């Protein structure tokens, strides 16, 4: 029994770890720029594909398998720079427009990214072969747990702590929070909104691409993988509260663990259960568990 | 063959990649021009246009690409040998996406491009819609992998112009027949498949067949994750908890690779047998590092490494690998068979002459026709359903690849594993003498 509980909880937390990174990217961008970035799932997929390629080059160059996570994470972070291109090249032109235009633009990015991925990596699923098992397995209360899953969970936690530190303990964080709170006032006090927006969007993108890169050894990259995750990320932000990082953290845990419990008990209810929670939150606490802005 | 109507939320992909079609027409024209240089006698013959509908986006894109590649290979080969009745083949490629848009493109192929026949169609969600359109437009349509089944039952039992793939559930039936042979003493079975018609139909068919061989078998868990899910760790936790003797899985895309990898990571197949009815569709991604020996693995209608494979198969596999750096999956065989049988039917209907036959005569010639395909001899049943062999076997690491292959190779004919024309599936299975 305890073995089953460990399996269910750990698989839920593993799922939550990835979900958190994508949802956190969504949150940080919405919190500051008030843009609901539909493309966050595409950035996740892009990170996954770039991760596969980076690990492929690393392996071909004879790098020790045990260190593959280094080029993987670096590639995931580096490709976050695409966020800067999207923000400066596209979004910066629609900040003054209606929110619907911004939403449509990020949706256009979703479609363009899917085609770009297909053109670059082809249509077949891509994976890092057996590297997932390089770190072996450990045993916890009778359950076999892949060590890599624990690494992903730890990495996600570390990133959550780092973001918390960045937003609350640094000058950049204070500026970001001030901008999120009142952008006109921040601008009046001398904050260069252009720079803040560019940095925040790149940060949000990098969280998604890093999430995609980190998950890839455990799965396979498919061009539509982002669309599947974005639906769950929406549930996370509604439960946690739009724009709240703490909300992303708790929301991801709620969705990840509930999904896992549902699959183990009443698999037919997997989505129903998550959306019941979403509806309950919307009815009883429309701003979400930690939300500042009305949803 | 897979019901994909739910899988392609596709206003997003409504517009086909026209540049691809144009590029392809350009290529086809170039190859035709090349032919004029080497064979002036046939240069008089106007090219025969064949329409192709191929999935290019979404989860079935690799399958669509494989079908298209095989059709191109066939066209190149036919053109080198002088075309069909002296006319070079020109392919006009359109995208298969959602039913509505695909029907529009299909109509364009017939009405505007004036193709002689249309090849292709994979998603049953789409081909269910194409069937009546093919009848309406009175032009032969030969479906690679799509049926006109609703669930496991046929909706167009007596078509005139539509030629359909094997029934969707055949590979699950084959797996159900082979399971008791290789996994004796199985008492409990868990199942996982995609949450759409193909996944559910395969699971029901597999259960019905296995129950005939092992009457006291218990089916203890069924899971149907959505198409496109990339994390099955929670599903695997549930499968572990079920403590089933065997897992039956009908995944056929990247999800087959993912579940294999995630199952290996928790040692699932150390205690559980595994049946993967269709994972041979992504066979070269099933790396030895995480795919154990001893699983039953299905390759649908073509096994690229068949030790008894024909010289044609060996040539195709070699050239496919050289050109695409992959080993070909089964869809190539469906596509090659369709194109090759169309050519044979035209030649048969021409009765040895050079006069291009009427479309209706070609359709008549197709009925019951048998030709050499990549996987061996294949034919059209009188009710326009493909007849062929299915290849399944036990996974082995004893090969020169970095992925698993199968040994021994079991070859089961659709004569044994597909319901006869007009039969109800479950009545037919329950009527087997075992």
Cβ atoms within 10 A of the Cβ of A74, count? 15
Measured between alpha carbons, how far is A284 from A279 in angstroms, rounded to an integer? 8
Kindly state whether residue B234 falls inside one of the protein's structural domains: yes
Given A10, A145, A227, which is nearest B228 (Cβ)? A227
Same domain, yes or no, for B315 and B191? no
Closest chain A residue by Cα to residue B403: A129
Whether the Cβ atoms of residue A201 and residue A29 lie closer than 8 Å to each other:
yes
Q: What confidence tens digit (pLDDT) does each residue in A129-149 have? A: 888 989 999 998 888 999 999
Q: Is residue B2 part of a domain?
A: no
pLDDT digits (tens, 9 = 90+) for A252-286: 999 999 999 999 999 888 888 889 999 999 999 98
- Using the Cβ of A231 and the Cβ atoms of chain B, whether some distance falls under 8 Å is answered with no
| Domain span including residue B254 | 170-300+389-430
Taking the C-alpha atoms of residue B401 and residue B371, their distance in angstroms, rounded to an integer, is: 31
Residue B341 sits in the same domain as residue B267: no
- Do B134 and B39 share a structural domain? yes
**Could you report the average pLDDT of every consecutive run of 10 residues in chain B (434 residues)?**
42 37 42 39 72 90 94 97 96 95 97 97 93 95 93 90 95 98 96 93 97 97 90 95 96 93 93 95 91 97 96 98 94 98 97 91 96 96 96 98 96 96 94 91
Give the strand order in the sheet containing B376-380: B370-373, B376-380, B386-387
Instruction: In whole angstroms, give the CA distance from residue A241 to residue A193.
Output: 24
Residue B224 forms part of a structural domain: yes
Name all domains of chain A by residue range, CATH numbers in brackets: 2-284 (1.10.3470)
Q: Identify which of B265, B266, B287 has the shortest CB distance to residue A129.
A: B287
Q: In the prediction, which pLDDT does B226 show? A: 86
pLDDT at A67: 93
- Give the minimum alpha-carbon distance from A284 to chain B in angstroms, rounded to a whole number: 29
In this complex, the residue of A11, A130, A228 whose CB is nearest that of residue B228 is A228
How far is the C-alpha of B172 from the C-alpha of B292, rounded, in Å?
21
Q: Token digits for A72?
A: 């993987």
Q: Which residues of chain A have pLDDT under 70?
A: 292-295
Inter-chain contact A124–B285, Cβ cutoff 8 Å?
A: yes
Please indicate, yes or no, whether residues B149 and B94 belong to a single structural domain of this protein.
yes
pLDDT tens per residue, range B358-405:
999 999 999 999 999 999 999 999 999 999 999 999 999 999 999 999
Q: How far apart are CA B252 and CA B269, in angstroms?
A: 19
B115 and B188 co-located in one domain: no
Same domain as B209, residue B112? no
Q: Return the structure tokens found at B124.
A: 């049953």
CA B10 to chain centre: 22
Q: What distance in Å separates residue A193's CA from the closest CA in chain B?
A: 33
B4 found inside a domain: no
Same structural domain, B201 and B252: yes
A129 in B contact zone (CB under 8 Å): yes
Q: Which residues contact A278 (CB under 8 A, 6 or more apart)?
A: A235, A238, A239
Long-range pairs of B29-32 with CB within 8 A, sequence gap ≥ 24: B29/B90, B31/B76, B31/B79, B31/B88, B32/B79, B32/B88, B32/B90
B225 vs A contacts (CB less than 8 Å): 270
Strands (E), chain A: 137-140, 143-146
CB-CB under 8 Å, A4 with B289: no
Task: Find out whether the peptide bond into B408 is cis, omega within 30 degrees of 0.
Answer: yes
Read off φ and ψ for residue B238, nearest 5 degrees: -70, -40
Give me the pLDDT at residue A218, please: 93
User: Are both B30 and B120 inside the same structural domain?
Assistant: yes
Residue B293 lies in a domain: yes
Q: Answer yes or no: do B230 and A220 touch at CB < 8 A.
A: yes
The two tokens of residue B98 are 């959602």
Q: What is the pLDDT of residue B194?
A: 92
pLDDT at A292: 62
Question: Total structural domains in chain B?
Answer: 2
Does A130 touch chain B if contact means CB atoms closer than 8 Å? yes
State the CATH number of the domain containing residue B91: 3.40.50.2300
B90 and B78 together in one domain: yes
Assess whether B228 and B269 both reside in one domain: yes
pTM over 0.90: no
Answer yes or no: is B3 within a domain: no
At residue B1, the pLDDT reads 52
**A 183-222 near B (Cβ less than 8 A):** 215, 218-222
Query: Is there a domain that residue B16 lies in?
Result: yes
Q: Are residues B207 and B256 in the same domain?
A: yes
Decide: helix, strand or coil at residue A64: coil
Q: Which of B9, B233, B285 sits opposite A125 (nearest CB)?
A: B285
Look at residue B404 and tell me if it is in a domain: yes
B265 plus B407 within the same structural domain: yes
Q: Does A127 touch chain B (CB under 8 A)?
A: yes
């Amino acid at each position: 029994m305890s073995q089953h509980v460990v399996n269910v909880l750990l698989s839920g937390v593993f799922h939550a770890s990835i979900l958190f990174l994508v949802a956190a990217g969504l949150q940080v961008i919405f919190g500051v720029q008030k843009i609901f970035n539909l493309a966050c799932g595409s950035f996740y997929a892009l990170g996954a594909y770039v991760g596969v390629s980076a690990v492929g080059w690393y392996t071909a160059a004879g790098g020790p398998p045990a260190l593959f996570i280094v080029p993987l994470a670096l590639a995931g972070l580096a490709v976050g720079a695409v966020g800067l291109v999207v923000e400066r090249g596209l979004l910066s032109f629609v900040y003054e427009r209606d929110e619907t235009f911004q939403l449509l633009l990020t949706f256009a990015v979703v479609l363009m990214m899917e085609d770009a991925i297909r053109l670059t990596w082809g249509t077949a699923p891509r994976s890092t072969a057996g590297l997932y098992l390089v770190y072996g397995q450990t045993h916890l209360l009778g359950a076999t747990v892949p060590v890599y899953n624990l690494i992903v969970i730890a990495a996600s936690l570390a990133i959550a702590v780092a973001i918390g530190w960045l937003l609350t303990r640094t000058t950049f964080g204070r500026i970001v929070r001030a901008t999120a709170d009142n952008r006109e006032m921040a601008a009046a006090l001398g904050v260069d909104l252009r720079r803040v927006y560019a940095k925040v969007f790149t940060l949000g993108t990098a969280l998604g691409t890093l999430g995609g890169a980190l998950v890839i050894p455990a799965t396979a990259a498919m061009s539509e993988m982002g669309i599947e995750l974005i639906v769950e990320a929406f549930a996370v932000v509604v439960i946690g509260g739009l724009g709240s990082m703490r909300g992303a953290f708790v929301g991801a845990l709620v969705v990840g663990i509930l999904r896992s419990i549902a699959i183990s008990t009443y698999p037919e209810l997997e989505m129903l259960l998550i959306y019941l929670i979403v509806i309950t939150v919307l009815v009883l606490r429309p701003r979400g568990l930690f939300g500042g802005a009305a949803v | 063959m897979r019901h994909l109507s739910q899988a392609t939320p596709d206003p997003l992909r409504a517009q086909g990649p026209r540049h691809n079609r144009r590029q392809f027409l350009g290529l086809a024209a170039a190859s035709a021009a090349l032919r004029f240089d080497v064979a002036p006698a046939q240069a008089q013959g106007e090219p025969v246009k064949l329409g192709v509908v191929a999935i290019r986006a979404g989860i079935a894109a690799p399958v669509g690409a494989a079908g298209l590649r095989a059709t191109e290979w066939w066209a190149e080969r036919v053109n080198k040998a002088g075309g069909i009745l002296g006319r070079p083949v020109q392919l006009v490629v359109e995208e298969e996406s959602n039913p509505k848009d695909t029907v529009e493109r299909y109509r364009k192929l017939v009405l505007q491009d004036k193709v002689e026949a249309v090849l292709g169609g994979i998603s049953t969600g789409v081909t269910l819609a194409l069937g009546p359109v093919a009848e309406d437009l009175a032009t032969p349509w030969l479906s690679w992998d799509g049926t006109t089944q609703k669930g496991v039952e046929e909706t167009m039992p007596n078509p005139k112009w539509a030629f359909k793939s094997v029934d969707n559930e055949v590979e699950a039936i084959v797996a159900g027949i082979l399971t008791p042979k290789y996994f004796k003493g199985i008492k409990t079975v868990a199942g996982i498949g995609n949450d759409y018609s193909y996944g559910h139909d395969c699971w029901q068919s597999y259960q019905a067949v296995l129950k005939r061989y092992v009457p006291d078998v218990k089916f203890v868990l069924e899971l149907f994750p959505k198409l496109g899910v990339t994390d099955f760790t929670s599903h695997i936790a549930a499968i572990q908890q079920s403590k089933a003797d065997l897992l039956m899985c009908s995944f056929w895309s990247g999800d087959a690779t993912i579940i294999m990898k995630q199952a290996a990571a928790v040692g699932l197949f150390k205690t559980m047998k595994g049946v993967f009815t269709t994972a041979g569709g992504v066979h070269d991604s099933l790396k030895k590092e995480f795919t154990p020996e001893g699983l039953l693995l299905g390759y649908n209608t073509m096994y690229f490494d068949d030790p008894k494979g024909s010289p044609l198969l060996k040539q195709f596999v070699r050239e496919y690998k050289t050109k695409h750096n992959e080993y070909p999956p089964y869809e190539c065989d469906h596509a090659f068979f369709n194109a090759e049988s169309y050519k044979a039917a035209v030649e048969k209907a021409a009765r040895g002459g050079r006069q291009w036959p009427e479309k209706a005569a070609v359709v008549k010639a197709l009925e019951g026709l048998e030709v050499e395909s990549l996987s061996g001899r294949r034919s059209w049943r009188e009710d326009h359903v493909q007849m062929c062999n299915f290849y399944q076997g036990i996974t082995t690491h004893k090969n020169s690849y970095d992925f698993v292959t199968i040994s021994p190779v079991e070859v089961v004919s659709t004569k044994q594993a597909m319901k006869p024309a007009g039969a109800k599936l479950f009545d037919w299975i329950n009527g087997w003498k075992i």
